[in-house]
């Protein structure tokens, strides 16, 4: 099943037989996904949502995560790899809160279990990308269906 879900750059050609699934934030001319990473990379558009998530992360008990959250607040963004890694914690919280991310993960997992091949598209790839976190979550849910 793992070979049936890939991560790719949004501008790359989708391989034959795969269905594109955009997982990034809203951009000019492109509607955003419920999976858009609210944590931004330094130098990108810092928003109230990014600040709120970074502040929430900075209050967690895990020392590494809370330090990364404090750095994100202080620097108005995270390093590329940090933003992608911290998204795992954010996605877990969104799912736990019953947000639309949980429903969409279940939908994608069911599509994958049904034999559909999915290409998760984001602007970051091949740099560290939150789409890899989404891929892991979809595979995890698909394994439990």
pLDDT at 74: 94
Provide the whole-model pTM: 0.92
* Over residues 18-44, mean pLDDT: 89
pLDDT at 125: 92
Return the closest-CA partner of residue 101 out of 137, 50, 56, 54: 137
- 81/36 Cα distance (integer angstroms): 15
Dump pLDDT digits (tens) for 64-108: 999 999 999 999 999 888 999 999 999 999 999 999 999 999 999
53: enclosing H helix or E strand: helix 48-58
> What is the three-class DSSP state of 129?
coil
């Amino acid at each position: 099943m793992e070979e049936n879900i890939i991560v790719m750059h949004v501008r790359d050609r989708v391989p034959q037989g795969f269905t594109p699934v955009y997982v990034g934030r809203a951009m000019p001319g492109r509607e955003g996904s419920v999976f858009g990473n609210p944590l931004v990379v330094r130098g990108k558009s810092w928003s109230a949502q990014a600040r709120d998530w970074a502040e929430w992360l900075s209050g967690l008990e895990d020392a590494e995560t809370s330090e990364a959250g404090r750095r994100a607040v202080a620097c108005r963004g995270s390093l590329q790899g940090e933003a992608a890694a911290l998204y795992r914690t954010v996605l877990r919280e969104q799912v736990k809160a019953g947000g639309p991310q949980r429903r969409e993960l279940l939908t994608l997992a069911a599509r994958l279990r049904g034999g559909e091949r999915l290409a998760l598209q984001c602007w970051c790839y091949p740099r560290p990308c939150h789409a890899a976190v989404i891929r892991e979550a979809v595979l995890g849910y698909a394994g439990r269906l």
